Structure 1
Amino acid sequence: MPEQRTLRAAEEDRREGKSPSTQAGEFVKEEIEHVREGRHGVRSTKQAIAIGLSKARRAGVELPAPKKNVSKRVQKKAEQDLEAGASHRRKSPRRARATENALKRESREPVSKSALSKQAKKAAAKRSSGARSAAAKKTARTKGASKRSAAAKKAARTRARKT
């Protein structure tokens, strides 16, 4: 079950009109925190992200199942999570415990800063430069004046540090 803090943050994102993937990001963040705290481990960075997205769908975030570049099994699981989010049936305690115990045997390493950075770079590399550019432009449009200003100052600091 997601923490109340995460549910509130996702709800706030929804009210502000942010995309379902942004809302789901709150759940992914929570999952990464759980692994870092040592509640359980994960086999890979992708698994941590997948668990977060699954929780988001089950919590009612209308994040559609991926259409391409994934297996049928992944699509089916995402659709099941969406249905579960709509029905509000609880997972059996025995199954929940088994999942938790299996994850406890896994590593904490996949959510290190370097592992997350590597995953983000890999994901970005799969997208075309046009898609990345369009995403950056959309971000700039939807950010708002104060956040745009803060981002510009941060970029300037980064550039200064690199020279």
Structure 2
Amino acid sequence: MTERKRKWSGKVTRESDALDLETSVFASDDPRRIARSLKRSAEMSHRRKSSPFRSAMSMLSFYVNRAGTNLPEERLKTLDAAKHRLRQLFHRE
């Protein structure tokens, strides 16, 4: 399998049609920063097909599902905390 075919999920994260993500947003250790960045990107996007909350949560879930098996447990905890914070930011909890 070529390198390009194996890295399609990274391309989606970098070049999403729905959201223009901040560079290295998922590399942050601060769940609040991740959630705020995703919220800002979703609210500013004019290309998304669903609500800002659903677009932001979808991108975060996509990242976790694609990278999840290779992520350390501590990183998964940070990303799960970002999901919780995202729900709070959109008043869904």
- How high is the TM-score relative to the length of structure 1? 0.23
Task: Identify which of structures 1 and 2 has the higher relative contact order when contacts are C-alpha pairs closer than 8 Å and 6+ apart.
Answer: 2
In terms of fraction of residues, the more helix-rich structure is 1
TM-score (norm 2): 0.35
Structure of higher CA gyration radius: 1
